[in-house]
């Protein structure tokens, strides 16, 4: 039994060289580290992903493996390079991540978020759009919007997002001099004066859930102005963007009439911020088959998922395909799983698993689960 | 016992028993799945090791010419083939929903693995870490071994009264009882807890020689011990 | 003694029966099977075997087949001059046809109903056909020399009419499927301008095959072939002339009805122009018309971008078109090229 432990230790040592990398800062990673895993700091993880951002299955894995490790892959490195090279005086460049189910789009987005955080960007991140438009727990509150006629509000989700935003940008909100440009009056007694810090705006939205959607609207407009004025650089990351363009949502007005995404008050601010009429930032968006109902899930290519409207909104964008694992990545992932005690067995197994999962990352993880 | 195995013509019993990594009682089938094939069709040999053995004794060429039944869907030559797991999945299956049964069993194994890995990371010393079994299939084997009864009670009627008489048990029957008791204990669960979760807990308890199923087996043994006076009722 | 005959059985000799009943000594040698007279004589009421013996059929003297005497170098056209049902003795072929019972050979040609039922073409062997063709030739004209290749035929005779004749076993000689008429023509052989071509394709719909450029019109709604032929010709002329007509309501065609993607008319152009102007920090007060007429050549790398967007819409989305779009957008926005796995 003791010899087994020694075997495990020695295996870990010999394989530590092949699948891990100690370079845990995305700004410093380059092509030498493609296919290798880097570990994220737990504090950073909590700050960035406390309210979502990493897929649920991945969160379970982090608990079992007792660490958050992401694989460095080519698409992420590509976008990081492009962002580093772009001239920030030009209008923002939009990147669209697409790929089959389980290819790794959300995790690539997480990698990019880490990079943005390190590089000092102000992060605007929606973990999963369909949570707002298509998930309906029993206590979902949908009220008629007060500032806009005929629009539907989702106050609780908006407040949750404001919390998320606050958590991700703690540092910048405290130190940076990000101030509002004009005064906003919410009601007879509440108003935010001009020149107030953005943090105050966010606090107000969290405290007064009724105005949360309007607060988000105002907040994003301010962020746009601030970016144009070079006060901060913004990184917008949206997962499941094509959900905004599907003709129907599962929400309904209090009079039980179905709404389209255009009638939800939360869509408008995010549509505004994904336009390319501002400078000093970057926008990364993913289109996912899982964001729409099953009868529209035939194809994973972006133009099909975004429909005509979405394509026109985002055009011109840089499409980035997230593919399946290559040979090297697959072997590295398999050795990582062995190291973390998730996979065991003889090495012939790898060829079997490669064929059975077709090198799709999610399928590979699912297949290794009972083994 | 040996007489049952001779349906596989040409392949002797000793060859089967030499496969020592899994018990021979499971391999001993009289037919592989529902038979729409006539009796002279032979059972398939789908494991690479067994094929290699046949090649050594030059029997494989003879088998290749004779008609052979096709193997079932879950009879693979994969490294992870385990006939006990297949049997378990079949027992879990209801209404022919094999896919659902397989998913439930696989999720149960995943849960077992996660719990064991957690315990592994919490264990402080190297000896404690070495004692923890991480492979869910090993846990399953251990659990089944611990749950198998050694005797069974047969109802025998003598003089108008039905006595519960302790009697020997075949391997097959004891395996069946072990799996049945495990599944009974699992299905006795709360509404909000899912089957894989409960099954994982039951497996871990049984592997540890604690829990409901092992208690049931021990109760049976105690009852057998108590009723040993009636043992002679098996013969009259 | 008299016996009342209740059941009349034609062909039997009743007097003999009555006589048999009465006598006790009428035993044939076969029935006793060599038994002694002292043994008890078994009364044989039915006496079937006797009757069978008497009814032995008389074999007729049949002369040998004509087919046995035929020479191998005879002229078959003289033996079988016209359509005739199969006559086994006249056909010197060992044909077998019909249901094959288990363990036996298929039934032979003698007294074979299957062979006699079906129509045979023994009167149309190749030498006979050849002589018929020779006889008809003096009424035919020559095939035109210049129509010696497929292209020449297609050039001079672009219209194809396809009809089918059927040979079938049925009480009626006419087959309802023979009324179907198919007309095939290549779209490039019709004189159509852009609008006419689009309208023609919408009128014709599914009947056009993009890969072979053929319009196939099928007619089977009339009972007679000639009527269907007229109908098919009518359809072609009607579609052709209608497609050249321009109706008033055709001016209401919206962007979504367009069958191809025109970059200038679409939102993508506006996006491009807006982006370009933002880059240059210029004022953007263009209206829709002006954007359509904006000269794109001034924007660097724009032509490639326009091409890739048009191909994305016109050729459908696929990996190849997306890759092209990717490279063109990167060039347009000034980003480095995509990294490839090394």
Q: What whole-number distance in Å separates Cα of residue C219 and Cα of residue C178?
A: 11
Q: What whole-number distance in Å separates Cα of residue C185 and Cα of residue C163?
A: 15
Q: What whole-number distance in Å separates Cα of residue A334 and Cα of residue A328?
A: 10
pLDDT in tens, B14-61: 444 434 444 544 444 555 556 788 888 888 889 999 899 999 998 888
Task: Tell me if C336 and A81 make a contact (CB, 8 A cut-off).
Answer: yes
Which CA distances in Å does B93 have to A235, B99, B193?
50, 8, 19
**Same domain? B120 vs B179:** yes
Residues in A touching B118 (Cβ below 8 Å): 64
Residues in B touching A1 (Cβ below 8 Å): 127, 130-131
Q: State the total domains in chain B.
A: 2
**A-interface mutation test, from C329, C331, C332, C342, most A Cβ less than 10 A away:** C329
**Same domain? B50 vs B147:** no
**A-interface mutation test, from C263, C339, C340, C342, most A Cβ less than 10 A away:** C339
**Same domain? B142 vs B175:** yes
pLDDT in tens, A30-43: 888 888 888 888 89
- Residue C75 scores a pLDDT above 60: yes
For residues A282-310, give the mean pLDDT: 86
Task: Tell me if B79 and A341 make a contact (CB, 8 A cut-off).
Answer: no
> Where do the domains of chain C lie, and which CATH numbers do they carry?
14-54 (no CATH), 70-140 (no CATH), 150-252 (3.30.160.20), 257-333 (no CATH)
**Same domain? B122 vs B189:** yes
How does the average pLDDT of chain C come out, rounded? 83
- Residue B13 scores a pLDDT above 60: no
Residue B72 lies in a domain: yes
Q: What whole-number distance in Å separates Cα of residue B94 and Cα of residue B119?
A: 33
ipTM for this model: 0.84
Give the residues across from B188 on adjacent strands. none
**Same domain? B105 vs B175:** yes
**Same domain? B150 vs B214:** yes
Task: Tell me if A77 and C339 make a contact (CB, 8 A cut-off).
Answer: yes
Element (DSSP H or E) covering residue C219: strand C214-219
Q: What whole-number distance in Å separates Cα of residue C119 and Cα of residue C83?
A: 8
Of A2, A64, A352, the CB nearest to B126: A2
Residue B82 lies in a domain: no
Looking at mean pLDDT, say which of A263-267, A293-297, C30-34, C216-220 comes out highest.
Answer: C216-220
Distance from CA of B105 to the nearest CA of A (A): 8
Structural domain boundaries of chain A? Answer: 86-321
Task: Tell me if B127 and A2 make a contact (CB, 8 A cut-off).
Answer: yes
Q: What whole-number distance in Å separates Cα of residue B82 and Cα of residue B22?
A: 8
- The pLDDT assigned to C22 comes to 46
Of B109, B117, B131, the CB nearest to A370: B109
Give A229's DSSP letter: T
**Same domain? B97 vs B160:** yes
Q: What whole-number distance in Å separates Cα of residue B78 and Cα of residue B57?
A: 23
Q: Three-state SS for C157? A: coil
pLDDT in tens, A210-229: 888 888 988 998 898 888 88
**Same domain? B26 vs B70:** yes
Domain extent for B154: 88-234
Backbone angles phi, psi at B154, to 5 degrees: -105, 135
Strands (E), chain A: 37-40, 68-71, 93-98, 122-126, 143-144, 152-153, 184-185, 191-192, 234-239, 281-286, 318-321
CATH code of the domain in which B107 resides: 1.10.455.10
- Residue A13 scores a pLDDT above 70: no
**Same domain? B180 vs B139:** yes
- The pLDDT assigned to B4 comes to 40
**Same domain? B101 vs B180:** yes
Of the listed ranges A56-65, A353-362, B20-29, C88-97, the least confidently predicted one is B20-29
The tokens for A224 are: 């746009």
Task: Tell me if B79 and A60 make a contact (CB, 8 A cut-off).
Answer: no
Using the 3D structure, point to which of B77, B104, B129 is the last residue of a domain.
Answer: B77
- The pLDDT assigned to A26 comes to 79
- The pLDDT assigned to B16 comes to 40
Using the 3D structure, point to which of B25, B44, B77 is the last residue of a domain.
Answer: B77
What is the per-residue burial (b if ≥16 Cβ within 10 Å, else e) of A124-148? Answer: bbbbbbbbbbbeeeeeeebeebeee
pLDDT in tens, A226-269: 888 888 889 999 998 988 888 888 887 878 888 888 888 888 89
**Same domain? B93 vs B73:** no
- Residue B108 scores a pLDDT above 60: yes
Using the 3D structure, point to which of B46, B77, B108 is the last residue of a domain.
Answer: B77
**Same domain? B49 vs B161:** no
């Amino acid at each position: 039994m003791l010899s087994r432990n020694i075997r495990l230790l020695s295996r870990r040592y010999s394989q530590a060289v092949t699948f891990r990398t100690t370079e845990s800062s995305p700004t410093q990673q380059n092509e030498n580290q493609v296919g290798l895993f880097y570990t994220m700091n737990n504090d950073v993880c909590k700050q960035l992903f406390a309210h979502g951002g990493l897929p649920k299955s991945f969160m379970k894995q982090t608990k079992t493996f007792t660490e958050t490790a992401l694989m460095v892959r080519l698409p992420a490195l590509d976008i990081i390079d492009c962002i580093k090279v772009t001239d920030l005086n030009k209008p923002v460049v939009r990147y669209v991540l697409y790929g089959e189910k389980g290819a790794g789009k959300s995790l690539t987005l997480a990698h990019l978020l880490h990079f943005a955080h390190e590089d000092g960007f102000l992060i605007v991140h929606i973990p999963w759009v369909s949570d707002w438009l298509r998930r309906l727990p029993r206590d979902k509150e949908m009220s008629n919007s007060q500032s806009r006629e005929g629009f539907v509000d989702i106050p609780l989700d908006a407040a949750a997002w404001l919390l998320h935003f606050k958590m991700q940008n703690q540092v910048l909100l405290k130190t940076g001099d990000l101030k509002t440009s004009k005064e906003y009056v919410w009601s007879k007694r509440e108003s935010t004066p001009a020149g107030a810090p953005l943090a105050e705006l966010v606090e107000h939205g969290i405290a007064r859930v009724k105005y949360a959607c309007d607060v988000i609207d105002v907040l994003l407009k301010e962020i746009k102005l601030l970016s144009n004025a070079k006060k901060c650089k913004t990184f917008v990351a949206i997962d499941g963007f094509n959900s905004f363009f599907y003709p129907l949502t599962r929400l309904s007005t209090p009079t039980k009439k179905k709404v389209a995404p255009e009638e939800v008050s939360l869509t408008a601010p995010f549509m505004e911020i994904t336009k390319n009429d501002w400078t000093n930032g970057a926008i990364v968006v993913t289109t996912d088959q899982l964001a729409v109902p099953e009868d529209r899930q035939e194809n994973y290519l972006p133009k099909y998922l975004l429909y005509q409207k979405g394509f026109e909104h985002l055009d011109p964008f840089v499409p980035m395909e997230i593919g399946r694992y290559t040979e090297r990545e697959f072997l590295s992932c398999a050795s990582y799983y062995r190291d973390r005690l998730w996979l065991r067995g003889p090495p012939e197994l790898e060829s079997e698993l490669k064929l059975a999962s077709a090198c799709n990352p999610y399928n590979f993880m699912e297949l290794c689960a009972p083994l | 016992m040996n007489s049952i195995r001779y349906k596989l013509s040409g392949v002797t019993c000793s060859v089967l028993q030499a496969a020592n990594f899994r018990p021979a009682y499971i391999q001993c089938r009289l037919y592989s799945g529902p038979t729409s094939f006539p009796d002279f069709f032979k059972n398939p040999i789908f494991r690479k090791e067994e094929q290699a053995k046949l090649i050594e004794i030059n029997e494989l060429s003879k088998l290749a010419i004779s008609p052979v039944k096709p193997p079932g869907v879950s009879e693979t030559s994969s490294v992870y083939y385990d006939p006990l797991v297949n049997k378990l999945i079949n027992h879990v299956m209801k209404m022919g929903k094999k896919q659902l049964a397989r998913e439930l069993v696989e999720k149960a194994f995943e849960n077992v693995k996660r719990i064991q890995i957690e315990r592994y990371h919490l264990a402080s010393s190297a000896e404690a870490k070495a004692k923890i079994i991480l492979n869910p299939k090993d846990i399953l084997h251990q659990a089944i071994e611990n749950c198998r009864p050694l005797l069974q009670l047969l109802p025998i009627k003598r003089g108008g009264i039905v006595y519960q008489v302790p009697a020997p048990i075949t391997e097959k029957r004891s395996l069946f009882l072990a799996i049945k008791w495990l599944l009974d204990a699992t299905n006795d669960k709360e509404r909000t807890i899912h089957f894989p979760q409960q099954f994982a807990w039951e497996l871990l308890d049984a592997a540890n020689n604690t829990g409901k199923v092992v208690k049931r087996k021990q109760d049976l043994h105690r009852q057998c011990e108590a009723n040993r006076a009636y043992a002679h009722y098996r013969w009259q | 003694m008299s016996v009342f005959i209740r059941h009349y059985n034609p062909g039997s000799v009743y007097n003999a029966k009555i006589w048999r009943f009465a006598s006790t000594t009428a035993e044939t040698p076969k029935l006793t099977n060599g038994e002694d007279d002292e043994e008890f004589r078994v009364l044989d009421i039915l006496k079937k075997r006797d009757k069978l013996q008497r009814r032995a059929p008389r074999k007729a003297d049949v002369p040998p087949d004509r087919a046995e005497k035929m020479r191998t170098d005879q002229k078959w056209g003289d033996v079988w001059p016209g359509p005739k049902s199969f006559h086994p003795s006249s056909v010197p072929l060992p044909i077998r046809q019909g249901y094959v019972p288990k363990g036996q050979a298929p039934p032979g040609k003698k007294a074979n109903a299957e062979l006699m039922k079906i129509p045979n073409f023994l009167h149309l062997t190749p030498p006979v056909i050849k002589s018929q063709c020779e006889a008809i030739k003096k009424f035919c004209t020559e095939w035109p020399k210049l129509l010696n290749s497929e292209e020449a035929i297609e050039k001079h005779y672009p219209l194809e009419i396809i009809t089918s004749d059927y040979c079938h076993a049925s009480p009626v000689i006419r087959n309802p499927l023979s009324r179907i008429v198919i007309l095939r023509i290549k779209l490039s052989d019709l004189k159509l301008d852009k609008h006419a071509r689009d309208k023609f394709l919408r009128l014709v719909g599914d009947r056009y095959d993009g890969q072979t450029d053929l319009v196939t019109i099928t007619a089977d709604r009339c009972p007679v072939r000639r009527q269907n032929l007229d109908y098919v010709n009518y359809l072609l002329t009607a579609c052709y002339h209608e497609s050249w007509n321009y109706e008033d309501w055709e001016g209401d065609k919206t962007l979504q009805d367009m069958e191809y993607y025109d970059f200038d008319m679409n939102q993508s152009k506006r996006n491009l122009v807006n982006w370009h102007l933002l880059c240059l920090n210029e004022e953007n007060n263009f209206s829709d018309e002006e954007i359509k007429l904006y000269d794109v050549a001034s924007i660097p790398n724009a032509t490639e971008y326009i091409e890739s967007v048009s191909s994305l819409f016109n050729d459908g989305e696929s990996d190849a078109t997306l890759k092209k779009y990717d490279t063109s957008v990167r060039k347009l926005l000034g980003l480095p090229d995509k990294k490839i796995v090394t």
